[in-house]
Chain A
Amino acid sequence: MTDKMMPPEEVVGRLRSGMTIGIGGWGSRRKPMALVRALLRSEVTDLTVVSYGGPDIGLLAAAGRIRELVTAFVTLDSIPLEPHYRAARERGDFALTEIDEAMFMWGLHAAANRLPFLPVRAGIGSDVMRVNPGLRTVTSPYEEEGGREEFVAVPALRMDAALVHLNRADRLGNGQYLGPDPYFDDLFCEAADAAYVCCEQLVETAELTKDAAPQTLLVSRHSVTGVVETPNGAHFTSCAPDYDRDEAFQKLYATTPWPEFAERFLSGADEHDYQLAVQAWHKEQR
């Protein structure tokens, strides 16, 4: 069977400027940060990014890599407003497709199911309709009490590539989450033409279910193109139960001018250099 292991650089090498890229996780939780950092070291730009946004968006926006963002929010959770995203938005750096959290989810479902759209009871009456003039509505084809209800027809959120971070994976592309919430990582993988799974730890297939229930097997290899092992790769977002969010570092990220932060932590040659820079910073704080 196909061994899908690859380094972060190879994942990024398969991405092209102008692509639509989905990023898994939620807010500042289990984000594929190692892949985002690899992307920042590349020349890939002009991206349409689809994400329940966290620091992945802050980093890409600050670095000027986003042409269009599709999201319902961008937040660092413990710090409600993402400062780098905020600054980029207020400068008018990129186009925004702002949709509701549920519309976003049904857009992923539609894409994963090869449907052009799915009806959702959300959006009508709100300015989501005003700022997305391309959105259409559908009326229920069935008679029911109270008349035929009108819904938003959320278009499929189809992507060229998806990047997700999971706790464990095997070489074949079977991915496992061990934390409390799968977020929508399985849907991201199924909604994309190519999906790349970053994991905390690579294990043999038989290891996956040795101590964990089969329901933890969130992502199946048929929807995965590449597997990357990057310990601490979701840093500084949370990756329960392997580690919590690095709140001290997140605070540093949120309060440091972008050029300074990028110079100190993102100017190295690879992910290893980043992790060393973070360790050095933590040592200074003691």
Chain B
Amino acid sequence: MSVSRSEYCVIACAEAWRDNGEVLASPMGLIPSFGARLAKRTFSPDLLLTDGEAMLVGLDGTVEGWLPYRRHLTMVTGGRRHVMMGAGQIDRFGNQNISCVGDWERPKRQLLGVRGAPVNTLNNPVSYWVPKHSARVFVERVDMVCGVGYDRAAGARYHRIPRVVSDLGVLDFATPDRSMRLASLHPGVTAEQVREATGFNLVIGDDVPYTREPSADELRLIRAVIDPEGLREREVKA
């Protein structure tokens, strides 16, 4: 059975939490949640997960701890967490915006607000998930810096953006000036497609690898155990 685009996205999200050890995986959004669960079921069994409210739970829902917001925020500042947030806008250095579009004084579109993006980015690893890669999201300049990017993180000792996963590929900041680079393409996508869907000059090497294939066991877990209803196909169309 062929692997769908959304399944590559689950794999690419899961990989964000590889070798993370005993930290809280905080996925925001459906496909990051499936990725975190896949990582915990396979190569990162020590990850902690929440039930979306105040409980730390195992894969079967067994409560193993208590994490109300006040303690969650301490987990952030203690650094024992890797969050994958969404982004209304993100720029070449990883500055992220979820607050508003347009002029902050009187926005064209009010979004969520800064939420915890400022504290997250200065304290624990922050990855991002963009379900629809476009030049409206990947912009030259974000309208309101919520999550701090590499060019504004001088002196921030715990700042790290491991990866940005989109429906087209995986991006990272492994370049000399820490600007965004195309790290892998999901099979079926071309580098040209990513270039066109990005509103800034993305670093694209000569031989961009493909996002890795899921193993047979991973595919079975995604399809039969983690997302039997196929909700992933709604977030990312084939």
Could you tell me which A residues sit within 8 Å of B by CB distance?
26, 53, 71-75, 80-81, 85-86, 89-90, 92, 98-103, 105, 120-128, 130-131, 146, 149-150, 180-184
In the complex, which of the residues A81, A103, A122 contacts B112, with contact meaning CB atoms closer than 8 Å?
A81
Q: By the criterion CB–CB under 8 Å, are A72 and B115 in contact?
A: yes
B residues in contact with A184, CB < 8 Å: 69-70
Most chain B CB inside 10 Å of its own CB: which residue of A53, A125, A146, A183? A125
A residues in contact with B152, CB < 8 Å: 125-126
A residues in contact with B55, CB < 8 Å: 180
B54 interface residue (CB < 8 Å to A): yes
The smallest C-beta distance from A103 to any residue of chain B, in angstroms, reads 7
Q: By the criterion CB–CB under 8 Å, are B116 and A72 in contact?
A: yes
Distance, CA A100 to CA B76, complexed state (A): 13
Interface size on B, residues (CB 8 A): 43
B residues in contact with A105, CB < 8 Å: 69-70, 73
Main SS at interface, chain B: loop
Q: By the criterion CB–CB under 8 Å, are B119 and A121 in contact?
A: yes
In the complex, which of the residues A103, A126, A149, A180 contacts B68, with contact meaning CB atoms closer than 8 Å?
A180
Q: By the criterion CB–CB under 8 Å, are A90 and B109 in contact?
A: yes
B53 interface residue (CB < 8 Å to A): yes
Q: By the criterion CB–CB under 8 Å, are A127 and B110 in contact?
A: no
B44 interface residue (CB < 8 Å to A): no
B234 interface residue (CB < 8 Å to A): no
In the complex, which of the residues B54, B108, B109, B122 contacts A122, with contact meaning CB atoms closer than 8 Å?
B122
Q: By the criterion CB–CB under 8 Å, are A85 and B110 in contact?
A: yes
Q: By the criterion CB–CB under 8 Å, are A125 and B156 in contact?
A: yes
Distance, CA A80 to CA B28, complexed state (A): 12
16 A-B residue contacts at CB 8 Å? A53-B113, A73-B113, A92-B105, A101-B69, A101-B115, A101-B119, A102-B76, A103-B119, A125-B118, A125-B121, A125-B156, A126-B145, A126-B146, A126-B148, A149-B155, A149-B157
